[in-house]
Structure 1
Amino acid sequence: MDLAIWAGGRLHTLDEPVLTAVDHGLTVGDGVFETCGVHRGTAFALTRHLERLQRSADGLGLPPLPLDEVREGVRAVLAAAGDRAGRLRITVTGGPGPMGSQRLAPAEQRPTVVVVAAPGGASDVARAVRVPWVRNERSPIAGLKTTSYAENVVALARAREAGADEALLADTRGRLSEGTGSNVFVEVGGELLTPSLETGCLAGITRDLLLLWGREAGLPVREAAPDELPWGVLDEVVAGRAHLVLTGSVRNVTPVVRLDEVDVAAGPLAAEARRVFLARMADDLDP
Protein backbone atom coordinates (compact mmCIF):
# COMPACT_ATOMS: atom_id res chain seq x y z
CA MET A 1 0.00 0.00 0.00
CA ASP A 2 1.26 3.45 -0.92
CA LEU A 3 1.12 5.12 2.50
CA ALA A 4 3.20 7.64 4.44
CA ILE A 5 2.94 6.94 8.19
CA TRP A 6 4.09 9.16 11.06
CA ALA A 7 4.00 8.38 14.79
CA GLY A 8 6.20 8.99 17.80
CA GLY A 9 8.03 11.86 16.13
CA ARG A 10 9.15 10.07 12.96
CA LEU A 11 8.08 8.37 9.76
CA HIS A 12 7.49 4.62 9.77
CA THR A 13 7.37 1.89 7.17
CA LEU A 14 4.12 -0.04 6.74
CA ASP A 15 5.38 -3.09 8.66
CA GLU A 16 6.72 -1.16 11.68
CA PRO A 17 4.59 -1.21 14.85
CA VAL A 18 3.37 2.19 16.06
CA LEU A 19 1.00 1.26 18.92
CA THR A 20 1.37 -0.67 22.15
CA ALA A 21 -1.02 -3.60 22.63
CA VAL A 22 -2.67 -1.74 25.52
CA ASP A 23 -3.31 1.54 23.69
CA HIS A 24 -6.78 2.65 24.73
CA GLY A 25 -7.65 3.54 21.15
CA LEU A 26 -7.06 -0.09 20.22
CA THR A 27 -8.59 -1.83 23.23
CA VAL A 28 -11.74 0.26 23.76
CA GLY A 29 -11.92 2.79 20.92
CA ASP A 30 -10.91 5.67 23.19
CA GLY A 31 -9.71 8.10 20.57
CA VAL A 32 -10.64 10.73 18.00
CA PHE A 33 -9.73 11.25 14.37
CA GLU A 34 -10.09 13.50 11.35
CA THR A 35 -9.85 12.78 7.64
CA CYS A 36 -8.90 15.58 5.23
CA GLY A 37 -8.80 15.70 1.47
CA VAL A 38 -5.40 16.64 0.06
CA HIS A 39 -5.26 19.17 -2.77
CA ARG A 40 -2.07 20.49 -4.38
CA GLY A 41 -0.08 18.90 -1.55
CA THR A 42 -2.09 20.65 1.16
CA ALA A 43 -4.57 19.22 3.66
CA PHE A 44 -7.81 21.02 2.83
CA ALA A 45 -9.42 23.02 5.67
CA LEU A 46 -6.82 21.77 8.14
CA THR A 47 -7.54 24.50 10.69
CA ARG A 48 -11.23 23.56 10.79
CA HIS A 49 -10.36 19.88 11.08
CA LEU A 50 -8.00 20.47 13.99
CA GLU A 51 -10.61 22.58 15.78
CA ARG A 52 -13.13 19.75 15.41
CA LEU A 53 -10.52 17.22 16.52
CA GLN A 54 -10.14 19.17 19.75
CA ARG A 55 -13.92 19.45 20.18
CA SER A 56 -14.24 15.69 19.79
CA ALA A 57 -11.46 15.14 22.32
CA ASP A 58 -13.16 17.52 24.76
CA GLY A 59 -16.45 15.68 24.32
CA LEU A 60 -14.75 12.34 24.93
CA GLY A 61 -12.98 13.64 28.02
CA LEU A 62 -9.46 13.33 26.62
CA PRO A 63 -6.76 15.76 27.77
CA PRO A 64 -5.85 18.74 25.57
CA LEU A 65 -4.43 17.48 22.29
CA PRO A 66 -0.76 17.98 21.35
CA LEU A 67 -1.67 19.98 18.25
CA ASP A 68 1.92 21.06 17.56
CA GLU A 69 2.84 17.38 17.36
CA VAL A 70 -0.14 16.75 15.09
CA ARG A 71 0.93 19.52 12.72
CA GLU A 72 4.47 18.15 12.69
CA GLY A 73 3.08 14.78 11.61
CA VAL A 74 0.95 16.38 8.90
CA ARG A 75 3.93 18.20 7.43
CA ALA A 76 6.05 15.04 7.50
CA VAL A 77 3.60 12.71 5.75
CA LEU A 78 2.63 15.24 3.10
CA ALA A 79 6.29 15.86 2.30
CA ALA A 80 6.95 12.11 2.15
CA ALA A 81 3.89 11.31 0.05
CA GLY A 82 4.23 14.17 -2.42
CA ASP A 83 1.83 13.97 -5.36
CA ARG A 84 0.62 10.53 -4.29
CA ALA A 85 -1.40 11.92 -1.38
CA GLY A 86 -5.13 12.29 -1.88
CA ARG A 87 -6.31 11.96 1.71
CA LEU A 88 -4.89 12.46 5.19
CA ARG A 89 -5.94 10.80 8.43
CA ILE A 90 -5.07 12.15 11.90
CA THR A 91 -5.73 9.85 14.86
CA VAL A 92 -5.19 10.74 18.52
CA THR A 93 -5.95 8.15 21.20
CA GLY A 94 -5.89 8.14 24.96
CA GLY A 95 -2.58 6.28 24.76
CA PRO A 96 -1.54 3.32 26.91
CA GLY A 97 -4.20 2.45 29.47
CA PRO A 98 -5.82 -0.26 31.57
CA MET A 99 -7.36 -3.28 29.89
CA GLY A 100 -10.83 -2.12 30.93
CA SER A 101 -12.75 1.01 29.99
CA GLN A 102 -11.38 3.13 32.84
CA ARG A 103 -8.57 5.55 32.06
CA LEU A 104 -5.32 6.27 33.82
CA ALA A 105 -5.18 9.36 36.03
CA PRO A 106 -4.86 12.55 33.95
CA ALA A 107 -1.22 13.08 34.98
CA GLU A 108 -0.34 9.59 33.73
CA GLN A 109 -2.01 9.78 30.33
CA ARG A 110 0.25 9.89 27.27
CA PRO A 111 -1.76 10.36 24.07
CA THR A 112 -0.80 8.50 20.91
CA VAL A 113 -0.67 10.51 17.66
CA VAL A 114 -0.67 8.78 14.28
CA VAL A 115 -0.85 10.63 10.95
CA VAL A 116 -1.18 8.83 7.63
CA ALA A 117 -1.25 10.13 4.05
CA ALA A 118 -2.66 7.88 1.36
CA PRO A 119 -3.85 8.01 -2.25
CA GLY A 120 -7.50 8.82 -2.76
CA GLY A 121 -9.84 10.87 -4.85
CA ALA A 122 -13.47 11.87 -5.06
CA SER A 123 -16.03 10.26 -7.34
CA ASP A 124 -18.35 12.48 -9.39
CA VAL A 125 -21.45 10.57 -8.23
CA ALA A 126 -22.58 8.41 -5.30
CA ARG A 127 -24.77 5.35 -4.81
CA ALA A 128 -26.50 4.85 -1.47
CA VAL A 129 -28.82 2.46 0.38
CA ARG A 130 -30.96 2.76 3.47
CA VAL A 131 -29.98 0.43 6.31
CA PRO A 132 -32.16 -0.74 9.23
CA TRP A 133 -29.92 0.57 12.01
CA VAL A 134 -30.16 4.03 13.56
CA ARG A 135 -27.94 6.80 14.75
CA ASN A 136 -28.51 7.31 18.47
CA GLU A 137 -28.84 11.07 18.83
CA ARG A 138 -28.86 10.67 22.63
CA SER A 139 -25.54 8.82 22.73
CA PRO A 140 -22.75 10.50 24.74
CA ILE A 141 -20.61 10.44 21.60
CA ALA A 142 -23.29 11.68 19.17
CA GLY A 143 -21.76 14.32 16.92
CA LEU A 144 -18.20 13.41 17.91
CA LYS A 145 -15.70 11.92 15.47
CA THR A 146 -14.34 9.05 17.54
CA THR A 147 -12.51 5.85 16.72
CA SER A 148 -15.52 3.85 18.01
CA TYR A 149 -16.58 3.19 14.43
CA ALA A 150 -17.84 -0.40 14.39
CA GLU A 151 -21.47 0.62 13.73
CA ASN A 152 -20.35 2.43 10.59
CA VAL A 153 -18.21 -0.50 9.47
CA VAL A 154 -21.19 -2.87 9.66
CA ALA A 155 -23.55 -0.45 7.91
CA LEU A 156 -21.08 0.30 5.13
CA ALA A 157 -20.48 -3.41 4.58
CA ARG A 158 -24.24 -3.79 4.00
CA ALA A 159 -24.08 -0.97 1.45
CA ARG A 160 -21.14 -2.57 -0.36
CA GLU A 161 -23.03 -5.86 -0.59
CA ALA A 162 -25.81 -3.96 -2.36
CA GLY A 163 -23.41 -2.34 -4.83
CA ALA A 164 -23.48 1.06 -3.13
CA ASP A 165 -20.74 3.21 -1.63
CA GLU A 166 -22.66 4.71 1.30
CA ALA A 167 -25.29 3.66 3.85
CA LEU A 168 -27.89 6.11 5.11
CA LEU A 169 -29.12 6.16 8.72
CA ALA A 170 -32.16 7.53 10.51
CA ASP A 171 -32.05 8.65 14.13
CA THR A 172 -34.08 6.97 16.89
CA ARG A 173 -37.06 9.26 16.19
CA GLY A 174 -37.31 8.34 12.51
CA ARG A 175 -35.62 11.43 11.11
CA LEU A 176 -33.01 11.40 8.36
CA SER A 177 -29.60 11.78 10.03
CA GLU A 178 -26.47 11.03 7.96
CA GLY A 179 -24.37 8.47 6.16
CA THR A 180 -21.64 6.38 7.74
CA GLY A 181 -18.99 8.84 6.60
CA SER A 182 -20.94 11.66 5.00
CA ASN A 183 -23.55 14.30 5.59
CA VAL A 184 -26.76 14.35 3.58
CA PHE A 185 -28.50 17.16 1.72
CA VAL A 186 -31.97 16.75 0.22
CA GLU A 187 -33.12 18.90 -2.68
CA VAL A 188 -36.84 19.29 -2.04
CA GLY A 189 -39.38 22.10 -2.45
CA GLY A 190 -36.88 24.30 -4.26
CA GLU A 191 -34.37 24.19 -1.39
CA LEU A 192 -31.28 22.19 -0.47
CA LEU A 193 -31.73 21.03 3.13
CA THR A 194 -29.43 19.15 5.49
CA PRO A 195 -30.61 17.39 8.67
CA SER A 196 -30.43 19.23 11.97
CA LEU A 197 -27.53 18.41 14.30
CA GLU A 198 -30.23 17.33 16.76
CA THR A 199 -30.49 14.09 14.74
CA GLY A 200 -27.02 13.10 15.98
CA CYS A 201 -25.26 13.73 12.69
CA LEU A 202 -21.72 15.02 12.60
CA ALA A 203 -21.13 18.72 12.03
CA GLY A 204 -19.19 17.97 8.87
CA ILE A 205 -16.56 20.39 7.59
CA THR A 206 -17.86 20.12 4.02
CA ARG A 207 -21.43 20.44 5.30
CA ASP A 208 -20.56 23.67 7.11
CA LEU A 209 -18.69 25.10 4.14
CA LEU A 210 -21.50 24.25 1.70
CA LEU A 211 -24.00 26.00 3.98
CA LEU A 212 -21.71 29.05 4.11
CA TRP A 213 -20.55 29.17 0.50
CA GLY A 214 -23.96 28.20 -0.85
CA ARG A 215 -25.65 31.08 0.95
CA GLU A 216 -22.95 33.49 -0.22
CA ALA A 217 -23.59 32.32 -3.80
CA GLY A 218 -27.34 32.88 -3.43
CA LEU A 219 -28.32 29.21 -3.28
CA PRO A 220 -31.39 28.27 -1.19
CA VAL A 221 -29.41 26.02 1.16
CA ARG A 222 -29.97 25.70 4.90
CA GLU A 223 -30.04 23.40 7.92
CA ALA A 224 -33.50 21.91 8.31
CA ALA A 225 -35.61 22.25 11.42
CA PRO A 226 -35.27 19.16 13.66
CA ASP A 227 -38.39 17.39 12.31
CA GLU A 228 -38.36 18.80 8.77
CA LEU A 229 -36.62 15.86 7.08
CA PRO A 230 -38.32 12.61 8.12
CA TRP A 231 -36.84 9.28 7.04
CA GLY A 232 -39.67 9.01 4.52
CA VAL A 233 -38.28 11.92 2.49
CA LEU A 234 -36.03 9.31 0.88
CA ASP A 235 -39.16 7.76 -0.66
CA GLU A 236 -39.56 11.09 -2.46
CA VAL A 237 -36.03 10.72 -3.82
CA VAL A 238 -36.77 7.22 -5.13
CA ALA A 239 -39.98 8.55 -6.72
CA GLY A 240 -38.07 11.36 -8.45
CA ARG A 241 -39.78 14.17 -6.54
CA ALA A 242 -36.64 15.03 -4.56
CA HIS A 243 -32.90 14.63 -5.02
CA LEU A 244 -30.02 13.65 -2.77
CA VAL A 245 -26.48 14.92 -2.25
CA LEU A 246 -23.71 13.54 -0.03
CA THR A 247 -20.92 15.70 1.37
CA GLY A 248 -17.63 14.72 2.96
CA SER A 249 -14.01 15.70 3.24
CA VAL A 250 -12.86 13.38 0.47
CA ARG A 251 -16.05 13.08 -1.59
CA ASN A 252 -16.66 16.88 -1.43
CA VAL A 253 -20.18 17.49 -2.82
CA THR A 254 -21.49 14.44 -4.66
CA PRO A 255 -24.95 13.91 -6.18
CA VAL A 256 -26.58 10.52 -5.54
CA VAL A 257 -27.55 8.74 -8.77
CA ARG A 258 -28.77 5.46 -7.27
CA LEU A 259 -30.75 4.90 -4.07
CA ASP A 260 -31.85 1.47 -2.87
CA GLU A 261 -31.02 -0.09 -6.26
CA VAL A 262 -33.17 2.47 -8.11
CA ASP A 263 -31.54 4.91 -10.52
CA VAL A 264 -32.36 8.50 -9.56
CA ALA A 265 -31.53 11.83 -11.13
CA ALA A 266 -29.21 14.47 -9.76
CA GLY A 267 -31.04 17.72 -9.10
CA PRO A 268 -30.18 21.14 -10.54
CA LEU A 269 -29.41 22.61 -7.10
CA ALA A 270 -27.09 19.69 -6.40
CA ALA A 271 -25.15 20.35 -9.60
CA GLU A 272 -24.85 24.06 -8.81
CA ALA A 273 -23.84 23.37 -5.20
CA ARG A 274 -21.07 21.08 -6.42
CA ARG A 275 -19.85 23.71 -8.88
CA VAL A 276 -19.82 26.45 -6.23
CA PHE A 277 -18.03 24.28 -3.69
CA LEU A 278 -15.26 23.12 -6.04
CA ALA A 279 -14.66 26.68 -7.26
CA ARG A 280 -14.38 28.08 -3.74
CA MET A 281 -12.18 25.18 -2.62
CA ALA A 282 -9.76 25.89 -5.45
CA ASP A 283 -9.45 29.48 -4.25
CA ASP A 284 -8.88 28.79 -0.55
CA LEU A 285 -7.34 25.58 0.79
CA ASP A 286 -7.71 26.56 4.46
CA PRO A 287 -10.98 28.49 4.72
Structure 2
Amino acid sequence: MGLIIYLDGQYVEEEQAKVSVFDHGLLYGDGVFEGIRAYNGVVFKLKEHLKRLYQGAHTMGLKINETPEEMAQVVTETCRRNDLTDAYIRLVVTRGKGDLGLDPRKCAKTTTFCISATIKLYPEELYQTGLELITVATRRNIAEACNPRVKSLNYLNNIYAKMEANLAGVPEAVLLNNEGYVAEATGDNIFFVRDGVLYTPPISAGLLEGVTRNCVIDLAKKRGIEVREVLFTRMDLYTADECFLTGTAAEAIPAVKYDGRMIGTGQPGEITKMLIQDYRDYVRNAGDGEKI
Protein backbone atom coordinates (compact mmCIF):
# COMPACT_ATOMS: atom_id res chain seq x y z
CA MET A 1 0.00 0.00 0.00
CA GLY A 2 1.34 3.42 -0.98
CA LEU A 3 1.28 6.74 0.79
CA ILE A 4 -1.82 8.81 1.40
CA ILE A 5 -1.50 12.27 -0.17
CA TYR A 6 -3.53 15.39 0.51
CA LEU A 7 -4.63 16.98 -2.77
CA ASP A 8 -7.03 19.92 -2.94
CA GLY A 9 -9.32 18.95 -0.10
CA GLN A 10 -9.08 15.18 -0.41
CA TYR A 11 -6.81 12.44 0.92
CA VAL A 12 -6.01 10.00 -1.86
CA GLU A 13 -3.71 7.08 -2.61
CA GLU A 14 -0.44 8.26 -4.14
CA GLU A 15 -1.35 6.62 -7.47
CA GLN A 16 -4.41 8.88 -7.60
CA ALA A 17 -2.55 12.04 -6.57
CA LYS A 18 -2.34 13.70 -9.98
CA VAL A 19 -2.13 17.29 -11.17
CA SER A 20 -2.92 18.60 -14.62
CA VAL A 21 -0.18 18.83 -17.24
CA PHE A 22 -1.43 22.42 -17.62
CA ASP A 23 -0.59 23.24 -14.00
CA HIS A 24 1.77 26.22 -13.98
CA GLY A 25 3.76 24.68 -11.16
CA LEU A 26 4.78 22.01 -13.65
CA LEU A 27 4.98 24.21 -16.74
CA TYR A 28 6.82 27.17 -15.19
CA GLY A 29 7.90 26.34 -11.64
CA ASP A 30 5.24 28.80 -10.50
CA GLY A 31 4.52 27.96 -6.88
CA VAL A 32 5.92 27.72 -3.36
CA PHE A 33 6.80 24.85 -1.06
CA GLU A 34 8.04 23.93 2.39
CA GLY A 35 10.05 21.00 3.66
CA ILE A 36 8.99 20.26 7.24
CA ARG A 37 10.04 17.66 9.80
CA ALA A 38 8.11 15.74 12.43
CA TYR A 39 9.83 14.24 15.45
CA ASN A 40 8.28 12.01 18.09
CA GLY A 41 4.74 12.87 17.04
CA VAL A 42 5.26 16.64 16.81
CA VAL A 43 5.53 18.63 13.56
CA PHE A 44 8.55 20.80 14.32
CA LYS A 45 8.26 24.60 13.94
CA LEU A 46 5.09 24.24 11.88
CA LYS A 47 3.98 27.82 12.51
CA GLU A 48 7.32 29.17 11.27
CA HIS A 49 7.17 27.05 8.13
CA LEU A 50 3.60 28.10 7.38
CA LYS A 51 4.45 31.75 7.96
CA ARG A 52 7.22 31.51 5.36
CA LEU A 53 4.94 29.65 2.95
CA TYR A 54 2.21 32.28 3.12
CA GLN A 55 4.69 35.15 2.93
CA GLY A 56 6.23 33.63 -0.19
CA ALA A 57 2.82 33.05 -1.74
CA HIS A 58 1.78 36.63 -1.00
CA THR A 59 4.98 37.91 -2.59
CA MET A 60 4.19 35.89 -5.72
CA GLY A 61 0.53 36.91 -5.78
CA LEU A 62 -0.65 33.37 -5.02
CA LYS A 63 -3.95 33.05 -3.16
CA ILE A 64 -3.82 29.85 -1.13
CA ASN A 65 -7.21 28.17 -0.82
CA GLU A 66 -6.61 26.89 2.71
CA THR A 67 -6.24 29.17 5.72
CA PRO A 68 -3.06 28.75 7.82
CA GLU A 69 -5.15 26.96 10.47
CA GLU A 70 -6.58 24.59 7.87
CA MET A 71 -3.13 24.03 6.41
CA ALA A 72 -1.76 23.08 9.82
CA GLN A 73 -4.51 20.47 10.07
CA VAL A 74 -3.65 19.23 6.56
CA VAL A 75 -0.05 18.62 7.62
CA THR A 76 -0.84 16.80 10.85
CA GLU A 77 -3.66 14.76 9.28
CA THR A 78 -1.42 13.66 6.40
CA CYS A 79 1.08 12.36 8.94
CA ARG A 80 -1.69 10.58 10.87
CA ARG A 81 -3.09 8.91 7.78
CA ASN A 82 0.37 7.57 6.95
CA ASP A 83 0.96 6.46 10.55
CA LEU A 84 4.14 8.53 10.76
CA THR A 85 5.40 10.12 13.97
CA ASP A 86 8.84 10.87 12.48
CA ALA A 87 8.54 12.23 8.98
CA TYR A 88 9.69 14.59 6.26
CA ILE A 89 6.73 16.56 4.96
CA ARG A 90 6.59 18.32 1.61
CA LEU A 91 3.86 20.97 1.38
CA VAL A 92 3.35 22.48 -2.08
CA VAL A 93 1.12 25.21 -3.49
CA THR A 94 1.17 25.84 -7.24
CA ARG A 95 -0.42 28.56 -9.37
CA GLY A 96 -2.82 25.89 -10.57
CA LYS A 97 -4.20 24.80 -13.92
CA GLY A 98 -3.98 27.36 -16.71
CA ASP A 99 -3.11 27.37 -20.39
CA LEU A 100 0.20 27.22 -22.21
CA GLY A 101 0.78 30.95 -21.82
CA LEU A 102 2.60 32.66 -18.97
CA ASP A 103 -0.32 34.80 -17.76
CA PRO A 104 -1.11 33.77 -14.15
CA ARG A 105 -4.59 35.27 -14.51
CA LYS A 106 -5.48 32.23 -16.63
CA CYS A 107 -5.10 30.02 -13.53
CA ALA A 108 -8.47 30.03 -11.78
CA LYS A 109 -7.33 28.54 -8.46
CA THR A 110 -4.19 27.27 -6.83
CA THR A 111 -3.35 23.60 -6.35
CA THR A 112 -2.29 22.34 -2.91
CA PHE A 113 -0.79 18.98 -2.04
CA CYS A 114 0.97 17.55 0.98
CA ILE A 115 3.25 14.50 1.13
CA SER A 116 4.34 12.86 4.37
CA ALA A 117 7.19 10.39 3.97
CA THR A 118 10.81 9.94 5.11
CA ILE A 119 14.12 11.32 3.88
CA LYS A 120 17.83 10.79 4.48
CA LEU A 121 19.88 13.46 2.76
CA TYR A 122 23.36 12.32 3.82
CA PRO A 123 24.75 9.03 5.17
CA GLU A 124 25.20 9.00 8.95
CA GLU A 125 28.98 8.68 8.64
CA LEU A 126 29.21 12.21 7.20
CA TYR A 127 27.66 13.60 10.40
CA GLN A 128 30.68 12.08 12.16
CA THR A 129 33.44 12.84 9.64
CA GLY A 130 32.13 15.96 7.90
CA LEU A 131 31.38 17.11 4.36
CA GLU A 132 33.67 18.37 1.64
CA LEU A 133 32.45 21.58 -0.01
CA ILE A 134 33.38 23.43 -3.17
CA THR A 135 32.57 26.84 -4.59
CA VAL A 136 30.66 26.59 -7.86
CA ALA A 137 30.50 28.94 -10.82
CA THR A 138 26.72 29.25 -10.51
CA ARG A 139 25.83 32.41 -8.57
CA ARG A 140 22.89 32.78 -6.24
CA ASN A 141 19.81 34.37 -7.75
CA ILE A 142 19.64 38.10 -7.24
CA ALA A 143 16.64 39.46 -5.35
CA GLU A 144 15.58 41.63 -8.29
CA ALA A 145 15.24 38.55 -10.52
CA CYS A 146 14.04 35.59 -8.44
CA ASN A 147 14.21 36.48 -4.77
CA PRO A 148 15.93 33.68 -2.79
CA ARG A 149 13.81 34.55 0.25
CA VAL A 150 10.83 33.03 -1.56
CA LYS A 151 11.02 29.23 -1.39
CA SER A 152 9.62 28.81 -4.87
CA LEU A 153 9.28 25.78 -7.12
CA ASN A 154 11.72 27.46 -9.50
CA TYR A 155 14.79 25.68 -8.12
CA LEU A 156 17.05 25.57 -11.16
CA ASN A 157 19.61 27.85 -9.51
CA ASN A 158 20.11 25.28 -6.75
CA ILE A 159 19.97 22.34 -9.15
CA TYR A 160 22.69 23.81 -11.39
CA ALA A 161 24.92 24.19 -8.34
CA LYS A 162 24.16 20.63 -7.21
CA MET A 163 25.09 19.34 -10.67
CA GLU A 164 28.45 21.09 -10.39
CA ALA A 165 29.03 19.46 -7.01
CA ASN A 166 28.14 16.06 -8.49
CA LEU A 167 30.57 16.57 -11.37
CA ALA A 168 33.30 17.45 -8.87
CA GLY A 169 32.53 14.34 -6.82
CA VAL A 170 31.67 16.22 -3.61
CA PRO A 171 28.39 16.09 -1.67
CA GLU A 172 27.68 19.81 -1.41
CA ALA A 173 28.43 23.17 -3.02
CA VAL A 174 28.60 26.78 -1.87
CA LEU A 175 27.00 29.54 -3.94
CA LEU A 176 28.33 33.10 -3.91
CA ASN A 177 26.07 36.07 -4.51
CA ASN A 178 26.55 38.46 -7.40
CA GLU A 179 29.05 40.50 -5.39
CA GLY A 180 31.22 37.50 -4.54
CA TYR A 181 30.12 37.04 -0.93
CA VAL A 182 29.14 33.62 0.43
CA ALA A 183 25.35 33.14 0.31
CA GLU A 184 24.44 29.52 1.11
CA ALA A 185 24.78 25.92 -0.01
CA THR A 186 22.47 24.29 -2.56
CA GLY A 187 19.81 23.51 0.02
CA ASP A 188 21.28 24.61 3.34
CA ASN A 189 22.47 27.65 5.23
CA ILE A 190 26.15 27.92 6.19
CA PHE A 191 27.97 28.80 9.42
CA PHE A 192 31.60 29.03 10.43
CA VAL A 193 33.43 29.46 13.73
CA ARG A 194 36.53 31.55 14.39
CA ASP A 195 37.99 32.27 17.82
CA GLY A 196 34.81 31.04 19.50
CA VAL A 197 32.50 33.37 17.53
CA LEU A 198 29.80 31.95 15.26
CA TYR A 199 29.35 33.62 11.86
CA THR A 200 26.64 33.25 9.21
CA PRO A 201 25.64 35.42 6.22
CA PRO A 202 22.84 37.96 6.72
CA ILE A 203 19.56 37.51 4.87
CA SER A 204 20.55 40.45 2.65
CA ALA A 205 23.38 38.32 1.19
CA GLY A 206 20.75 36.54 -0.90
CA LEU A 207 19.67 33.43 0.94
CA LEU A 208 16.63 31.67 2.26
CA GLU A 209 15.95 32.49 5.91
CA GLY A 210 16.10 28.94 7.14
CA VAL A 211 13.94 27.74 10.01
CA THR A 212 16.78 25.47 11.14
CA ARG A 213 19.24 28.36 10.73
CA ASN A 214 17.24 30.55 13.09
CA CYS A 215 16.83 27.71 15.57
CA VAL A 216 20.60 27.07 15.69
CA ILE A 217 21.27 30.79 16.16
CA ASP A 218 18.93 30.76 19.17
CA LEU A 219 20.59 27.63 20.59
CA ALA A 220 24.05 29.19 20.19
CA LYS A 221 22.97 32.35 22.02
CA LYS A 222 21.56 30.23 24.86
CA ARG A 223 25.03 28.70 25.13
CA GLY A 224 26.50 32.19 25.44
CA ILE A 225 28.13 31.95 22.00
CA GLU A 226 28.41 35.26 20.19
CA VAL A 227 26.65 35.15 16.81
CA ARG A 228 27.47 37.61 14.02
CA GLU A 229 25.43 37.86 10.82
CA VAL A 230 27.92 39.48 8.45
CA LEU A 231 29.05 39.36 4.84
CA PHE A 232 32.11 37.19 4.27
CA THR A 233 34.15 35.68 1.43
CA ARG A 234 35.61 32.31 0.59
CA MET A 235 38.82 33.22 2.41
CA ASP A 236 36.89 33.42 5.66
CA LEU A 237 35.83 29.81 5.19
CA TYR A 238 39.36 28.77 4.16
CA THR A 239 40.71 30.18 7.43
CA ALA A 240 37.82 29.18 9.71
CA ASP A 241 38.28 26.98 12.75
CA GLU A 242 35.03 25.11 12.11
CA CYS A 243 32.19 25.03 9.59
CA PHE A 244 28.75 23.45 9.36
CA LEU A 245 25.52 23.56 7.36
CA THR A 246 21.91 23.65 8.54
CA GLY A 247 18.62 22.75 6.87
CA THR A 248 15.35 21.00 7.58
CA ALA A 249 16.31 17.81 5.75
CA ALA A 250 20.03 17.85 6.61
CA GLU A 251 19.45 19.17 10.16
CA ALA A 252 22.98 20.28 11.15
CA ILE A 253 26.04 18.67 9.57
CA PRO A 254 29.77 19.50 9.79
CA ALA A 255 31.96 20.56 6.86
CA VAL A 256 35.68 19.88 7.11
CA LYS A 257 37.10 20.69 3.66
CA TYR A 258 36.44 23.57 1.28
CA ASP A 259 37.85 24.03 -2.22
CA GLY A 260 40.54 21.46 -1.43
CA ARG A 261 41.59 23.25 1.76
CA MET A 262 41.22 21.67 5.17
CA ILE A 263 38.97 23.62 7.54
CA GLY A 264 40.58 23.87 10.98
CA THR A 265 41.88 20.45 12.01
CA GLY A 266 39.97 18.68 9.26
CA GLN A 267 37.63 17.20 11.88
CA PRO A 268 34.25 18.45 13.15
CA GLY A 269 34.95 21.15 15.75
CA GLU A 270 33.82 21.25 19.36
CA ILE A 271 31.31 24.09 18.92
CA THR A 272 29.92 22.40 15.83
CA LYS A 273 29.47 19.08 17.63
CA MET A 274 27.91 20.82 20.63
CA LEU A 275 25.37 22.70 18.52
CA ILE A 276 24.52 19.61 16.48
CA GLN A 277 23.79 17.73 19.70
CA ASP A 278 21.84 20.67 21.11
CA TYR A 279 19.72 20.76 17.96
CA ARG A 280 19.06 17.03 18.04
CA ASP A 281 18.08 17.19 21.70
CA TYR A 282 15.84 20.18 21.07
CA VAL A 283 13.87 18.70 18.19
CA ARG A 284 13.41 15.41 20.03
CA ASN A 285 12.40 16.86 23.38
CA ALA A 286 11.12 20.42 23.07
CA GLY A 287 7.75 19.68 21.49
CA ASP A 288 8.02 23.01 19.65
CA GLY A 289 5.29 22.46 17.10
CA GLU A 290 1.93 20.86 16.45
CA LYS A 291 1.07 17.40 17.72
CA ILE A 292 0.15 14.76 15.17
TM-score (norm 2): 0.86
Asked if the contact 2:64–2:93 (Cα under 8 Å) also holds between the matched residues in 1, the reply is no
Asked if the contact 1:30–1:147 (Cα under 8 Å) also holds between the matched residues in 2, the reply is yes
Mapped pair 1:214 → 2:220: yes
Moved over 4 A (4+): none
Alpha-carbon distance change, 40 to 84 in structure 1, aligned in 2, over 3 angstroms: closer
Which residue of 1 is the match for residue 135 of structure 2?
A: 130
Which residue of 2 is the match for residue 6 of structure 1?
A: 6
Which residue of 2 is the match for residue 185 of structure 1?
A: 191
- What is the alpha-carbon distance in structure 2 between the residues aligned to residue 260 and residue 4 of structure 1? 43
- What is the alpha-carbon distance in structure 1 between the residues aligned to residue 48 and residue 162 of structure 2? 26
Q: What does residue range 101-116 of structure 1 map to in structure 2 within 5 Å?
A: 101-104=102-105, 109-116=108-115
- What is the alpha-carbon distance in structure 2 between the residues aligned to residue 8 and residue 62 of structure 1? 15
In the TM superposition, what is the alpha-carbon distance from 1:5 to its structure 2 partner?
2.1
- What is the alpha-carbon distance in structure 2 between the residues aligned to residue 2 and residue 196 of structure 1? 41
In the TM superposition, what is the alpha-carbon distance from 1:100 to its structure 2 partner?
2.1
- What is the alpha-carbon distance in structure 2 between the residues aligned to residue 191 and residue 76 of structure 1? 41
In the TM superposition, what is the alpha-carbon distance from 1:68 to its structure 2 partner?
4.1
Which residue of 1 is the match for residue 32 of structure 2?
A: 32
Gaps of 5+ in 1: none
- What is the alpha-carbon distance in structure 2 between the residues aligned to residue 18 and residue 97 of structure 1? 15
- What is the alpha-carbon distance in structure 1 between the residues aligned to residue 78 and residue 155 of structure 2? 24
- What is the alpha-carbon distance in structure 2 between the residues aligned to residue 222 and residue 65 of structure 1? 39
Which residue of 2 is the match for residue 230 of structure 1?
A: 233
- What is the alpha-carbon distance in structure 1 between the residues aligned to residue 3 and residue 160 of structure 2? 25
- What is the alpha-carbon distance in structure 1 between the residues aligned to residue 281 and residue 73 of structure 2? 29
Mapped pair 1:95 → 2:100: no
- What is the alpha-carbon distance in structure 2 between the residues aligned to residue 127 and residue 82 of structure 1? 36
SS at match of 1:71: helix
Mapped pair 1:266 → 2:268: yes
Cα RMSD (Å) of the superposition?
Answer: 2.3
* Count of aligned pairs: 278
Report the AA paired with residue 31 of structure 2.
G
In the TM superposition, what is the alpha-carbon distance from 1:151 to its structure 2 partner?
1.8
